[in-house]
Amino acid sequence: MADKPIQGEKRMFMTGNEVCAYAALAAGADIMYGYPITPQNEIMHYWTRLAPKHNRTFLQTEDEISAGFTTCGGVLSGKRAFTATAGPGNTLMQEPMSMAEMMRIPAVFIIQQRGGPSTATVIYSQQEVTMTCYGANGEGLRIVYSTADHQELYDYTIKSFNTAWKYRFPTFVLGDGYQAKMRESLTIYDPELRGIQMVDTYPLVGLPGKAGADRDPAHLRNTYNTEEELYEVVKELVGAYEKFAPEIVEHKTVECDDAEVVILCHGIVSRAAVEAIRELRAEGVKAGMFRPITLRPFPTEPLRAVVQKAKKLLIVESAEGQFARLVLPSLYGLTTPLETIYKPGQGITSDEIVKKIKAMA
Amino acid sequence: MAKVVKIALAGEGGQGVQSVAEIITEAANEEGKEALYIPNFGVEQRGGVSIAFVQISDKEKVGSPKFEKADIVIALSDRAVRRCAQYVDGNTVFVYDTFIEGVEDDLPKGAKKVIGIPAIETAKNELHPRVFNIIIMGAVVRATHVVSEERAKQALEDKLGYKFEQDPKLRELNHRALARGMQLVEGHL
């Protein structure tokens, strides 16, 4: 095992991509597999700069399909492996991601969303929500953390390795182009100092002894012959996912106790929402925010508790309803009036939210 | 100035607006302020308008990385002048370079103040074209007070110190450029 690259605590001022590379290093990641695409390129660049100094490795593959599969391969061999991608790369990587769901491969994927569809913009969006949560064939048995700032990028990149290896489901850190490229302050730290013990990794294949004689076979399968066989396997996977979900879900609320209008948002948009709430509260408008940190699994129960007390809801996202499609099933049966701000591929400011909420009053 | 100072710096790719933004925000961070800087760019590597969005707050973390209206806009090319009109309102100080031709009609009408400074000319004739962006940095520092001159110099040292070691004249040139940039906006504020 490699040395301790991050000692103690340190205030830093850097880009989100740099943060991810440092966090992976602090988490004890052994190897990154990657293929360049904006806006996540610098995760690779920083990793390739940092990794050799700390006995870690990097492999650049020929495309994202390959980056995803090699990441799965690295994990199967017992390495704490990860990759990062965005946009069209995320699209290409769906195939290995769905294999990771089926075989419960604890791979870590960092996604820095850009605008879509297709090549679109290289800057920013929240338009990879549906794809990251439910892309590929299958049921979307993934864990997806949506981060809002650099501190969270650091915290959740570290955490994603533990979540992945503890529950053995592919785990995602869903950032975006703004988070990737902007610079702001954060505190980096040695996880152990904060009582975070990294979950041990282990090989899933090539185990010692003779399969069937000395030990059970690893029996990692991705292909099934009959409907019944597949049904049983998927039901088992879903069962495991649902069993762990209550331990995994995370959310954040701001001023929800007496809120009449509750803003529902995720990721970086929540920063504009928090600012809007500050302004609105100063003017006597009772606004609050509910923000899922895990988009998969989704924090349905706490959301319902908040929504039941509110008079109005406002969904705000930099996409055309992708986040709303995650939210709405959780609100089934409730009749709280709901409005939206949808801005696909565009940033959202507090001013817009303030204006909208005043208009809703 | 408001609690969070919002700055939009825009120019052609290669004019160095992104490095200015980087140096200023790092200086502010070193001073213990909360700073957020995000570059805005298109798919092209060269030849587009490059904008740096900078926000600096005394204490609290900055909200969303982009903003609607800036406290100060610095536009360094004709395209930048036109592209940045959307960030201007009655509280905005708009700074442009007087060397830019044909933008008289595009200068924002509703700004708090519109200031023309001869930064490109000053760089060319008095100092050196390569310190053009440091003149701009001086203008930003003086117009916003987001960092002190001393801290700005320290930030230059952090960023370019290795070059200054090889050629101490460069240090002096950069310091002069910074001071000159500050002077250029001085009389207008």
Mean pLDDT of B98-109: 91
d(CA A169, CA A237): 9
- pTM over 0.90? The answer is yes
**Coil/strand/helix, residue A44:** helix
Instruction: Yes or no: say if A259 and A288 are a contact pair by the CB < 8 Å rule.
Output: yes
The contact set of A with B (CB < 8 A) is: 13, 119, 121-123, 149, 178, 181-185, 268-269, 271-272, 274-275, 347-352
Same domain for A167 and A90?
Answer: yes
Same domain for A180 and A260?
Answer: no
Residues on chain B touching A268 (C-beta within 8 angstroms): 64-65
From A278, which residue of chain B is nearest by alpha-carbon distance? B63
Q: Tell me: the pLDDT tens digits for A170-206?
A: 999 999 999 999 999 999 999 999 999 999 999 999 8
**Coil/strand/helix, residue B166:** helix
Same domain for A190 and A283?
Answer: no
Instruction: Return the CATH number at A317.
Output: 3.40.50.920
Q: Which of A112, A182, A289 to mutate to test the interface with B (most CBs of B within 10 A)?
A: A182
Query: Would you place residue B48 in the very low, low, confident or very high pLDDT band (cuts 50, 70, 90)?
Result: confident
Instruction: Return the CATH number at A120.
Output: 3.40.50.970
Here the ipTM equals 0.88
Q: Count of alpha carbons within 13 Å of A272, Cβ hemisphere only?
A: 27
Averaged pLDDT of chain B: 91
Domain span including residue A278:
252-360
Same domain for A148 and A262?
Answer: no
Residue B43 has pLDDT above 80, yes or no: no
Same domain for A256 and A143?
Answer: no
Look at residues A303, A357, A351 and name the one whose alpha carbon lies nearest to residue A331: A303
Whether A157 is in a domain gets the answer yes
Whether A273 is in a domain gets the answer yes
Strands (E), A105-154: 108-113, 143-146
Neighbours of A327 (CB within 10 A): 23
Q: What is the pLDDT of residue B187?
A: 83
Query: In terms of DSSP H, where are the helices of A182-268?
Result: 227-248
Q: What is the pLDDT of residue B32?
A: 93
Query: Would you place residue B15 in the very low, low, confident or very high pLDDT band (cuts 50, 70, 90)?
Result: confident
Q: Tell me: the pLDDT tens digits for A157-167?
A: 999 999 999 99
Among residues A194, A213, A229, the one where a domain terminates is A194
> How many structural domains compose chain B?
1
Q: Tell me: the pLDDT tens digits for A223-233?
A: 999 999 999 99
Residues on chain A touching B29 (C-beta within 8 angstroms): 13, 185
Residues on chain B touching A263 (C-beta within 8 angstroms): none
Mean pLDDT of B148-158: 93
Q: What is the pLDDT of residue B1?
A: 38
Same domain for A33 and A99?
Answer: yes
Nearest beta carbon to residue B36 from set A184, A272, A350: A184
Q: What is the pLDDT of residue A2?
A: 47
Instruction: Yes or no: say if A354 and A280 are a contact pair by the CB < 8 Å rule.
Output: yes
Domain span including residue B82:
5-187
Among residues A169, A194, A219, the one where a domain terminates is A194
Whether A299 is in a domain gets the answer yes
Same domain for A79 and A173?
Answer: yes
Q: What is the pLDDT of residue B47?
A: 67
Mean pLDDT of A60-88: 98
d(CA B34, CA B25): 9
Mean pLDDT of A91-102: 98
Pairing of β A338-342 and β A312-317: parallel
Residue B44 has pLDDT above 80, yes or no: no
Mean pLDDT of A280-292: 97
Query: Would you place residue B66 in the very low, low, confident or very high pLDDT band (cuts 50, 70, 90)?
Result: confident
Query: Would you place residue B41 in the very low, low, confident or very high pLDDT band (cuts 50, 70, 90)?
Result: confident
Instruction: Yes or no: say if B5 and B144 are a contact pair by the CB < 8 Å rule.
Output: yes
Query: Would you place residue A1 in the very low, low, confident or very high pLDDT band (cuts 50, 70, 90)?
Result: very low
Nearest beta carbon to residue A347 from set B25, B39, B64: B64
Whether A23 is in a domain gets the answer yes
Same domain for A171 and A265?
Answer: no
Whether chain A has a CB inside 8 Å of the CB on B63: the answer is yes
Q: What is the pLDDT of residue B3?
A: 81
Q: Tell me: the pLDDT tens digits for A3-58?
A: 689 999 999 999 999 999 999 999 999 999 999 999 999 999 999 999 999 999 99
Under 8 Å CB-to-CB from A64, ≥6 apart: which residues? A35, A37, A85, A88, A89, A90, A92, A93
Instruction: Return the CATH number at B122.
Output: 3.40.920.10
Q: What is the DSSP letter of A211?
A: B
> How many structural domains compose chain A?
2
Same domain for A136 and A46?
Answer: yes
Whether A59 is in a domain gets the answer yes
Q: CB burial class (10 A; 0-12, 13-18, 19+) of residue A195?
A: exposed
Whether A235 is in a domain gets the answer no
Q: Which one is predicted more confidently, A112 or A5? A: A112
Sheet containing strand A294-296, edge to edge, reads A57-60, A31-34, A81-85, A108-113, A171-176, A143-146, A294-296
Whether A156 is in a domain gets the answer yes
Look at residues A191, A178, A187, A188 and name the one whose alpha carbon lies nearest to residue A16: A178
- Report the percentage of chain B scoring pLDDT > 90: 83
Nearest beta carbon to residue A275 from set B26, B63, B66: B63
d(CA A92, CA A136): 10
Mean pLDDT of B128-147: 93
CB contact under 8 A, A181 and B39: yes
Among residues A194, A217, A240, the one where a domain terminates is A194
Residues on chain B touching A348 (C-beta within 8 angstroms): 64
Q: What is the pLDDT of residue B189?
A: 79
Whether A183 is in a domain gets the answer yes
Q: Which residue has the tokens 């948009």?
A: A269
Whether chain A has a CB inside 8 Å of the CB on B29: the answer is yes
Same domain for A185 and A110?
Answer: yes
Residues on chain A touching B43 (C-beta within 8 angstroms): 119, 121-122
Instruction: Yes or no: say if A314 and A262 are a contact pair by the CB < 8 Å rule.
Output: yes
Query: Would you place residue A219 in the very low, low, confident or very high pLDDT band (cuts 50, 70, 90)?
Result: confident
